[in-house]
Amino acid sequence: MSYLEWFETHANKHHRIVQKLGAQKYTKEMIIDYFLFDNMVEKEPDFCLLYATKQKCHPLKELNCYLCACPNFRFNDEGLSVEKNITCKSQCSIHSKKSGVFVYENVSHLDCSACSVPHTKAYINKHFDVEWKKIMQKCLVTSPKAENSQ
């Protein structure tokens, strides 16, 4: 699955949940609390593949899944840049010291598993919007990849 396919699929799942909660008159705070990992595993098991094994993507006691994917994540399925024949398809816009990179089949991908930035209630509260795609609008980078540099 490409980054864009995941992004669109996830946006639709997120939208359905938020619409359901809105119809039940959930407040902003109630919506944010609903997205706590333990609650989501129980009530929205199809939201994330990791929920089937109750595995967290980040080792946080109070992991909140409202911003699954980070507003600082940048991606382009065609590539953001190419260096030494390695195509970079994703990166962190804030260059978090907790982010890493892994390379698979000459493609580098961002590894955010050690970063907790978007998964705290305070961060979500600050950036909250019922439209997940609105928060995440800068993630998809549409500019062409950089020239191949050796």
Which tens digits make up the pLDDT trace of 52-82?
999 999 888 899 999 998 999 999 999 999 9
Which tens digits make up the pLDDT trace of 125-149?
999 999 999 999 999 998 655 544 4
- 111 beta partners: 100
**According to the model, what pLDDT value does residue 59 have?**
87
Which tens digits make up the pLDDT trace of 34-56?
999 999 999 999 999 999 999 99
CB 130 within 8 A of CB 31: yes
CB 98 within 8 A of CB 114: yes
Average pLDDT, whole number, for the chain? 92
Q: CA 6 to CA 110: how far, in whole Å?
A: 15
Q: What one-character DSSP code corresponds to residue 74?
A: E
State the pLDDT confidence band at 93, using cuts at 50, 70 and 90: very high
What is the percent of the chain where pLDDT is above 70?
95
Give yes or no for residue 150 having a pLDDT over 70. Answer: no
